[in-house]
Structure 1
Amino acid sequence: MVTPDATSGVLLAGDPVHFRKVRSSTDSVWLEGSTTAGKHVAVKVTLSEHLADLEASVAEPGTELRFQTGGAAPAYGLADHAVYQAKYEHAGGQSFNTDVTGFSDDAYLSGQGISRLVSNFVIYPKQQFAELLIDPTTKIVHTSASQIVQGVKHAPAKVHLYYFFGAPHAIYAQYLRVRREAGFKVEMPKYQAFGVGWEAFGALGWDTNTHTVSDSVDRYLQEGYPLKWMVIGSGFWPAEPETMHETTSFGYWDKAKYPDPKALIQHFRDKGLAVMLGLRITFIVGGPYSDEGVKHGYFLQENGQAKVYKGGWPRQPFYLLDAHNPAALNWYMDLVKKWQDYGINGWKEDFYGYAGYDLHDDKVDPTNDRLFAQKQLIIERNGYLSSNGDLHRINDFNFNQDQDRGPVNALALAYSGFPFVYPDIVGGTFGENHFRTARTPKMETYMMRNARWASLHASMGMGEPPWSFRKEVSDVMLASTQLHARIAPYLYSNARKANDDGFPWTMTPLPIAFPGDANAYGRENSSARGYEWMIGDAMLAVPLYGDDYATAITRDIYLPEGRWMDYDTGKVYEGRQTLKGFAMPSTKTPLFIGGSGVTLEEIDGQVRVCVYPIGNASTVQVTLPESDKPITIKVPAIQSLANIKVASSTGANIAARTDGHALTFVPQPGATYVLSGGR
């Protein structure tokens, strides 16, 4: 799978380590090593079918430790860091690429560039292995065709490095297990988060108040947008004094702008929406709770004193919650309750702008753990290895940015074990003055393409009002949200599978879904712009996206093995071919159906099993959003919808109908259904 390093497998303080075997058992070997400089490390290697666990015990904690092998390519993973260093040795000047071959960082830590959601897991699907060194402090990560390195800058007493082996399904199952065993929670998201959302910052910027928020959200609902959650992310705190200008002004609302916040929140909850606020761990110096936090030692310290930080937000100097201090965490949760008492039941976690400090990658994980345990809805933005939110948000994504960054960022999160991707607000943040908001043809094309791309993720959020654009544009934006709402049950059914086995079922990049297919590689970059992924086994997302969005009208679409049906036209194509110059107008649904051909979709207010006639015999399990009892569907190799009958396992006939190009029926939790006919 990978060759030994040319010089040494382990470096301690920069020097090669020479090992001798101390003892061994059927599955483990104990080694003792030393360098010529007299430094010592012991390593226990434990082997199982798909995993090698290397536990290093460093005699002198604080020493730099590196594990090295020969190289391999292509390489995928690294979460946000995949777009932090944009050019790698293989890329030939390409700006963005999910293949991180050539990545090199001796100070791998959150806060660099846009990196906040962090994983140093790297997978090599062609060679069928992956690796991960678990440590939330400053790490060392290199991956190239000639050498692979993972290490830690200042080793604790014990360091765990894992090598994973086998097909991607086996690798991700072991990756999930070691994350959980190391204490990093991987949680099952809530279905409401997988619906369409609304964010005040995208719709209103800083101009939020009772009337602007209610007018915007109510208009969305009246226009037929299937909203399930909303975020009042900015401007809800008192205007004076400035020390209140933060999401940690717990319980304080601007009385002029929000005279009756309980009534406002209840208004939206009565409409079935989760109502969320922004939330951070930053406390402005002089703010309403900061003196109490300093007095009791609840903030991160330096030389025995609460350390004062300066960052991107808030604009004033601030303290940082010491979330790993149990007393501090309890205090913080008591403060959060001040918002919850108003009816708030979710949070957009959004600490950023801390690049100047070597903060641990898991600085926010304890707060998200506690909020999730309270069944709060969470949009997660910071964390190390944990999936302790309902959604994994990519960094702020705007009209004025390179549009290849977004899809690469989203796919990199999926490779890294964060597949519940939320690709940020459709259109971006118009109120921040980052770009001109004139309704140019380019702007309008952007809104349509961005909405189409967003609709195929675990969730999508609306902002800038669609009705402020031409009807053609708003029609595409509405259709995109309606498509997302339709396939949300299938996305969520696959989220259950991902939570069970670690495989990124809700967003599976093609090199992971089809590791043996050479044509699946080398396309997720700003040259080919083949940003495709699987949703479950039956949906292939093929959005036309990237920095050519304003001019491109066709894409080369690769269809993997199997048979694939165009979601709009019903035309079936054989797999293992590239559809050259395939027409992709902004009005087209960028989706193919393949694999088993069985999905779960919401149609006319009902969640229905959908069976598409693509000629594959299969037995499929799906799960309804409100149940954890799997439904089993047994399908013959049907090639048409003619004369298909659906029977339950008891032999009773089930009412079915044709919706679009699928046969559909309403299932019951835990039931088994057998189809016949259709030849």
Structure 2
Amino acid sequence: MRVALCANKNVKLATINVHKTLHKPKAAPPSEVFRAPIWTTWAKMKTNVSQEKVLSFAQEILANGMSASVIEIDDKWQCGYGDLDFDATKFPDPSSMVDELHAMGFKVTVWVMPFIAEDTMAYREGKDKGYFVNSNTRNGFFRWWQTPPVVALDVTNPEAVDWFVSRLKRLQEKHGIDGFKFDAGEPCFLPRRFITHTPLSHPSEYTRAWVNNVASKFELAEVRSGHNSTGNSSLVRMGDRFSDWGIENGLGSIIPALLTSGVLGYPFCLPDIIGGNAYFGKHPDEELLVRWAQANALMPAMQFSLTPWAAGSMAKDLCISALEMRDQFVETLIDHSERAVETLEPICRPMWWLDPEDSETFRIGDQFALGEDIIVAPVTTRGANERAIYLTEGRWRDLSNGKVHQGRRWMRDFSAPIGALPIFIREKSS
């Protein structure tokens, strides 16, 4: 382990100092991922996807007054893991499906990962060419979160990377696919005592190669892992969240995860699915879904799968209100995303970023700043209709009623009923 100790006046300057040493992306993600929510099939359908269900999902989105944006087709769209072609039984005419989705105004992405099952054309094509990570046991096969066992693409092998990327581009050309959700990439999904084409000095170098050698080749992309890969322009998605309120992995965890992502040099953060993934048969109720949408509304990107109208009429109306609130700030989000290309400054920032000498800000993990002049304080506690809010130095206007408050103070028991998202705008000095 190598440790470098650098002294700076405060935590903000220390963070900026570190960001100067990191690779910068060449561009921000495409603006459509900021302007409207991504719609993924995962939480709604899990692996039961089909052409008919995807088209019905898109029609349902538009019929309920939501904007067409990006629709993401998740697990089990392939004929076999790693073959990178549609299951002909589930998707009898994928090209016409994509054409129809495009006509509705959607861009289309599909879910991919660096894993290949044995009973596939991809495995038979690549096994003798050294395209897969090997090991001393079971010829490199290992178990992951699905079945059957798989091998992993050797992302350290340039020929293997070219083979995989060319197959992704062939899929795009064949069916009109716009981009990809690049899942996995963590070294925990590798066989024991793995052997790669280029030896790794640290297992996390596999993650960096997956992101930089594969995902970075596509403009419309998201990844869920990173290691020294701040120079990549993809959205970086939080890991799968549970459909509960908890700080461990529910709604209460998304603001801390968002802020951590930004501080580490990954400003293009995609929080996970609004309302969580509905694992273990647990679906969000109206209150959780609404509060989740409000909390996510002024974060860099949004992603729905569980539909608000399925939760109830109140959820639908209040989620639409949260999206309308986002519309007021979407140009600000895009401006900050473009600035982040040059500086890696977070789009959504911890409160100490606004006032790094104010110790009151250091422990605040349930509110955040959008840029320098907007404070967002979502409610993330079940049944709460009020919350404490801290305003940093300056004068802050409550967006809901126009009242101006002096900063560097706590506002205890601030009213925030179910339809409210507390937002404060900095008053400019005259």
Same fold, TM-score > 0.5, yes or no: yes
2:164 is aligned to 332
8 Å Cα contact 1:169/1:503 also seen in 2: no
Q: Does 1:190 align with 2:30?
A: yes
Q: Deviations over 1:371-404 (max 9, x none)?
A: 5654431112112021324322111112146232
**Cα distance, 1:201 vs structure 2:** 0.8
d(CA) in 2 for partners of 1:332 and 1:533?
39
Higher gyration radius (CA): 1
Give the total of aligned pairs.
413
Query: Residue 277 of structure 1 aligns to a residue in which SS?
Result: strand
1:458 is aligned to 300
Letter in 2 for 1:399: S
Residues 305 and 292 of structure 1: is their aligned pair in 2 closer, same or farther, counting only changes over 3 Å?
Answer: farther
8 Å Cα contact 1:560/1:577 also seen in 2: yes
The answer to which structure has the higher strand fraction is 1
Residues 164 and 347 of structure 1: is their aligned pair in 2 closer, same or farther, counting only changes over 3 Å?
Answer: farther
Query: Residue 363 of structure 1 aligns to a residue in which SS?
Result: helix
1:574 is aligned to 406
1:497 is aligned to 339
Query: Residue 163 of structure 1 aligns to a residue in which SS?
Result: coil
Residues 265 and 323 of structure 1: is their aligned pair in 2 closer, same or farther, counting only changes over 3 Å?
Answer: same
1:165 is aligned to 8
Q: Deviations over 1:131-159 (max 9, x none)?
A: xxxxxxxxxxxxxxxxxxxxxxxxxxxxx
2:363 to 518, 522, 529: 522
1:483 to 304, 325, 328: 325
d(CA) in 2 for partners of 1:485 and 1:212?
29
d(CA) in 2 for partners of 1:303 and 1:472?
57
1:124 is aligned to none
Residues 474 and 572 of structure 1: is their aligned pair in 2 closer, same or farther, counting only changes over 3 Å?
Answer: same
1:384 to 216, 224, 227: 227
State percent identity of aligned pairs.
21
d(CA) in 2 for partners of 1:372 and 1:436?
32
8 Å Cα contact 1:417/1:502 also seen in 2: yes
* Worse overlay, 534-543 or 219-228: 219-228
For normalisation by structure 2, the TM-score amounts to 0.88
Query: Residue 194 of structure 1 aligns to a residue in which SS?
Result: helix
Query: Residue 126 of structure 2 aligns to a residue in which SS?
Result: helix
2:392 to 560, 575, 579: 560
d(CA) in 1 for partners of 2:188 and 2:209?
21
Q: Does 1:398 align with 2:242?
A: yes
1:533 is aligned to 368
**Cα distance, 1:172 vs structure 2:** 4.1
**Cα distance, 1:340 vs structure 2:** 0.9
d(CA) in 2 for partners of 1:400 and 1:576?
32
Structure 2 unpaired stretches of 5+: 193-201
Letter in 1 for 2:34: F
Residues 551 and 373 of structure 1: is their aligned pair in 2 closer, same or farther, counting only changes over 3 Å?
Answer: closer
Q: Deviations over 1:575-600 (max 9, x none)?
A: 11111100111211331111xxxxxx
2:281 to 435, 438, 443: 435
Q: How does 1:50-65 map to 2 (within 5 A)?
A: 65=1
d(CA) in 2 for partners of 1:291 and 1:185?
36
Q: 4+ runs of 1 displaced by more than 6 Å?
A: none
d(CA) in 1 for partners of 2:149 and 2:49?
24
Residues 521 and 364 of structure 1: is their aligned pair in 2 closer, same or farther, counting only changes over 3 Å?
Answer: closer
d(CA) in 1 for partners of 2:275 and 2:254?
12
Q: How does 1:585-600 map to 2 (within 5 A)?
A: 585-594=417-426
Instruction: Kindly report the root-mean-square deviation, in angstroms, between the aligned alpha carbons of the 2 structures.
Output: 2.5
**Cα distance, 1:426 vs structure 2:** 1.0
d(CA) in 2 for partners of 1:311 and 1:396?
15
**Cα distance, 1:356 vs structure 2:** 7.0
Query: Residue 206 of structure 2 aligns to a residue in which SS?
Result: coil
8 Å Cα contact 2:373/2:425 also seen in 1: yes
Query: Residue 217 of structure 1 aligns to a residue in which SS?
Result: helix
Letter in 1 for 2:337: A
For normalisation by structure 1, the TM-score amounts to 0.57
The answer to which structure has the higher helix fraction is 2
2:143 is aligned to 310
2:273 to 425, 438, 462: 425
1:584 to 416, 419, 423: 416
8 Å Cα contact 1:452/1:590 also seen in 2: no
Letter in 1 for 2:370: I
d(CA) in 1 for partners of 2:138 and 2:286?
52
